[in-house]
Chain A
Amino acid sequence: MSQVSTESPVKNTGALSHEVKSEDIAPLQVLSPEGEIVNLERMPKLSDDQLKEIMYRMVFTRTWDDRAVNLGRQGRLGFYAPVSGQEATMVGSEYALTKEDFVCPGYRDMPQLVWHGLPLYQAFLYSRGHQHGGQIPEGVNVLMPQIIIGAQILHATGIGMGFKLKGEKRVAITYTGDGGSSEGDFYEGLNFAGAFKLPVIYFVQNNGYAITTPYAKQTGAQSIAHKALAAGIRGLQVDGMDVLAVISAVQEAAEIGRNGGGATLIEGLTYRFRPHSMADDATKYRSKEEEQEWSLRDPLVRFGKFLEKKGLWTEEDTARVKEEAKAAVNEHIKKAEQTEKMTVAGLIDSMFEQTPPHLEEQKADFQ
């Protein structure tokens, strides 16, 4: 079972008991590591073109990540949180939604924002510490990356309530990590979603580490998905290296949310191949063996094998997408670098709708 039962745990024990118990779960999987379909029932209905598009986005994202790390080393990007290894949870979960759905990201979730419509050069501007990076274009339903771990979970909860109040068939999705699932805002958000039955998807990308702190030290819970039980919402665990499992889980959760069925917590088991950030050294807290083991579960490899067997993808396709991605990154980093610099006066004018007198006065010092 991949889904945590929301039935009363008392009933689950078979005999009446005052002690809460729950069952172990196994992650939802659609593809085996060899790229074979192991769960046909959960195979999402996708055309060949859609399958190719998903692979395109994952390869593009991997290449963009490679390039961004280099740009960071060259000083052309500022704070950057690498994403390699997490392409299935990032690209897949976003692909499962419609553009009307709303994305509330954590700080690492730039790929979801870009695939949801944020221009790439703005992602680079965000990294470079430019306000225009967060100036989301009209019609793109995302929030800016969130630095305070878990704060966005509550925003998604409020946005979901907004959809419900307006009678719109939309869902909000929010992302955090295994560390974020320890925050008070995580529990408060899930609990509100349960109490108000809100169309929200809480996606935890469990990559095993909160910066350096391993999952084993993060919680005593059987799984992060189990935390849904206490909030009275659905809980699922998925193989986060299996993009089709991720899409299946998110599509289902979105469908349930849109039709008044409430919220779902999805725990995706994944791994970041790179350090937490450009300033982090993962060798200090992760073993080579562990990294090696996870690299064998590379989501691009698994999905690539599946597509190759179907005759939908070749190594040449990968090479072509890489070149496209490199060209796009070059174009967008140039655009980011050529964007007019922020000014302190402009910053002052973005504090309030109408700049009050004391700030007008302070602005004069910067003109």
Chain B
Amino acid sequence: MAQMTMIDAIRDAMRVELARDPNVLVFGEDVGHVGGVFRATEGLQKEFGEQRVFDTPLAESAIGGLAVGLGIQGFRPIAEIQFVGFIYEALDQMFIQAARMRYRSGGRYNAPIVFRTPFGGGVKAAELHTDSLEGLAIQTPGIKVIVPSNPYDAKGLLISAIRDNDPVFFMEHLNLYRAFRAEVPEGEYTVPIGKANIVREGKDITIIAYGLMVHTAMKAAEELEKNGVSAEVIDLRTLLPLDIDTIVASIQKTNRAIVVQEAQKTSGAAAEIIAQINEKAILHLEAPVLRCAGPDTVYPFAQIEDAWLPTAARIVKTANQVLQF
């Protein structure tokens, strides 16, 4: 097994699938010759040629629409939207045209597309590079939403996404791209879409997180351990479909939970998770499920983003509110 960063693992997933399936295409702004602003596709054009890995003109809606048209012709496009804030330019193509293709055609056509985009805060990037827009996506019928937290999952989930016959919004936390290396198997393997992962077992409280916040939650769990609190941490990996069974099973054991997200507090993934916990596990709860999230403001400029984002200390504080209820 090789030691890979998450960006290496993402690149490796695309390489494996480009080699395995001639219908897989990779395109977007700057992804061809140079290999993307984060080098996620570095070397792929050289290996697979300009017909399969190519730069597009700078227009996100057209990148999305191109993917929809190519999907109808039997290709499996991996379309990169350079930064998460730029998806607003492509929302119709992603969230309407791709997401509704199967429904609108009664199953005659589908949109086997992966829309990859970097997102996530803490890197002092320019405005609209780091927002967490998964909430928009999970409210959109017809598109799956994946947020990996580590190199192994990123590769296995991306391969699953490329092979999926429905559109997938694949959100890559840019603060995780080169954060650490981990063992990643060579060649092909998949991590199933819609299955969460218990990354730390515990018995007193469940901390539900995804993306970078899984790691922040792990730090918080270590802090809680010092005070004798045993926290279970769930890495959701997929936000839609949501693995509510794993969450419910954990709460049946711990009877307490919090949800952590970088996104603004209101109406996001955390709100939906709590609603589903309410539907399926309320009698197992000893306290309300609380959210640790960003405030309901626009994502801040770089100066204050570290203060805005959830930290291990804030997660501990939220957990203690639930533990002491």
Contact = CB atoms under 8 A, between A and B. Distances in A.
Interface of A: 104, 131-132, 134-136, 138, 143-144, 148, 151, 153-163, 165-166, 172, 184-185, 188-189, 191-192, 195, 347, 350-353, 356-358
B50 to A, nearest CB: 11
15 contacts: A131-B106, A134-B108, A136-B108, A136-B109, A151-B96, A155-B97, A158-B66, A158-B67, A158-B68, A159-B70, A165-B70, A195-B56, A352-B144, A353-B110, A357-B244
A131 B103 contact: yes
Interface stretch (B72-80, B150-158, B206-214, B290-298): B72-80
B18 to A, nearest CB: 14
Contacts of A159: 69-70, 72-73
Contacts of A188: 57, 59, 61-62, 65
A350 B106 contact: yes
A97 to B, nearest CB: 17
A113 B121 CA distance: 47
Interface of B: 25, 51, 56-57, 59, 61-62, 64-75, 92-93, 96-97, 102-110, 141-142, 144, 164-166, 194, 240-242, 244-245, 276
Given A350-B102, A358-B241, A135 B93 contact: no
A356 B72 contact: no
B57 A154 contact: no
The 9 A-B pairs at the shortest CB distance, nearest first, are namely A158-B69, A154-B65, A162-B73, A135-B106, A356-B241, A188-B62, A158-B66, A188-B59, A155-B69
Contacts of A165: 25, 51, 70, 75
A162 B166 contact: no
A58 B172 CA distance: 53
Contact of B65 (A155, A162, A347): A155
A191 B103 contact: no
Contacts of B142: 351-352
A162 B70 contact: yes
A185 B68 CA distance: 13
B136 to A, nearest CB: 17
A131 B194 CA distance: 28
Contacts of A347: 103
A79 B109 CA distance: 23
A351 B141 contact: yes
B62 A162 contact: no
Nearest to B56: A192
A172 B102 CA distance: 21
A189 B73 contact: no
Contacts of B64: 154
Contacts of B51: 165
A221 to B, nearest CB: 20
A259 to B, nearest CB: 19
A184 B62 CA distance: 9
A158 B73 contact: yes
A189 B57 CA distance: 10
A358 to B, nearest CB: 6
B105 A154 contact: no
A131 B96 CA distance: 16
B103 A192 contact: no
Nearest to A131: B106
A144 B104 contact: yes
A155 B92 CA distance: 12
Given A136-B108, A192-B62, A155 B72 contact: yes
A192 B244 CA distance: 42
Contacts of B75: 162, 165
A161 B194 contact: no
B106 A157 contact: no
A223 B205 CA distance: 67
Contact of A132 (B70, B106, B166): B106
Contacts of B25: 165
A354 B70 CA distance: 22
B72 A148 contact: no
Given A185-B62, A358-B241, A151 B93 contact: yes
Contacts of B73: 158-159, 162-163, 166
Best-surrounded residue of A134, A160, A166, A191 (most CB of chain B within 10 A): A134
Contact of A161 (B69, B92, B102): B69
Given A135-B108, A143-B109, 11 more contacts: A135-B106, A138-B108, A143-B72, A161-B69, A162-B74, A165-B25, A165-B75, A184-B61, A352-B102, A353-B102, A357-B244
A74 to B, nearest CB: 26
